[in-house]
Amino acid sequence: MFTKDGLGSGVVYAKDGLILTNEHVVRGNTNVEVAFADGQRIPGKVRATDAIADLALVEAQRQDLPPATFQQQLPRIGELAIVIGSPLGFENTATSGIISGLHRQIPGSAASSQSLVDLIQTDAAISPGNSGGAVVNSRGEVVGISEAYIPPQSGAVALGFAIPAATAVQVAEQLQKNGKAEHAFIGLAPTDITPQIAEQLHLPDTAGVLVLSIVSNGPADKAGLRPGDVLLSLEGQKLNAPEDLLAALRNKAPGQAVNVEYRRGNDTREAKITLSERPAAES
């Protein structure tokens, strides 16, 4: 998939020319060029995007395409993983490896992106240009959409990440039907607790997620949380970093009530927070 800013990959989602890709691949573009495996290049129009899940639908003027089959159950660690796409512009490239982890968060990503949580990890090579392409299993079923990699200069060896197929399909169906996807909103800004912050706030340790700010009249505000509170768990799931909170919210729905354990000063408390739909300004 070619844009004015670069290129990426995609997966045929529907036979009438609907292509699923990453939002960051088409960001800032309304028109793209879609290159198919048979060599044809067709103009495409960005139909809908979702920056929270980093997914987008592109409509290409082509009919009777073979749509991909998505396996919506999570793969097992150790299963074959084949990454298909156009890394660095090399079209129709396949690299292979295994599924090497599930429910991964990329540390520190919450400060700049809400999409790098609850990901599938693979050691199959993912490079620039693979974004938005398929990660498939030995049966040719899509188990994930290539999302990111940690480059070798960071000291990483074969660390690639993909959006699980179930998440991709859930968001794609909403984008196809409504032009947007719903996401649960808790109404607070989380941040890591560093040793320096723990010392400054007289916290006993660096466990948990610090509430940096609260959205006025939002879900957390209505439940009585305040800036400076330390979130310890959500629905019993321990929170060690902001990415853990984003991951815990990923499979929750607007209107759903969740139990949160938090610490205020020396007291450990519980609150029930009714999540809302993420406001447009927050997306």
For the chain, state the CA radius of gyration. 20
**Which residue of the set 109, 127, 131, 276 is catalytic?**
131
Two tokens, residue 207: 């466990």
Q: Taking Cα atoms as reference points, which of 242, 183, 180 lies closest to residue 210? A: 242
Active-site residue 146, yes or no? no
Tokens of 4: 């004015």
Contacts of 282 (CB under 8 A, 6+ apart): 185, 215
Q: Taking Cα atoms as reference points, which of 34, 72, 37 lies closest to residue 56?
A: 34
**DSSP, res 93:** E
Residue 240: both structure tokens together = 């060690």
Is 24 assigned a catalytic role?
Answer: yes
| Tokens, residue 128 | 């620039």
Q: How many CA atoms lie within 13 A of 166 on its CB side?
A: 10
List 24, 109, 113, 233, catalytic entry:
24
Q: Are 204 and 177 in contact (CB under 8 A)?
A: no
Report yes or no: 118 and 25 within 8 Å, Cβ to Cβ. no
Which pair of tokens denotes residue 56?
């987008």
86 is catalytic: no
d(CA 45, CA 58): 6
Q: Per the residue annotation, which of 9, 50, 54, 192 is the catalytic one?
A: 54
Residues belonging to the active site: 24, 54, 131
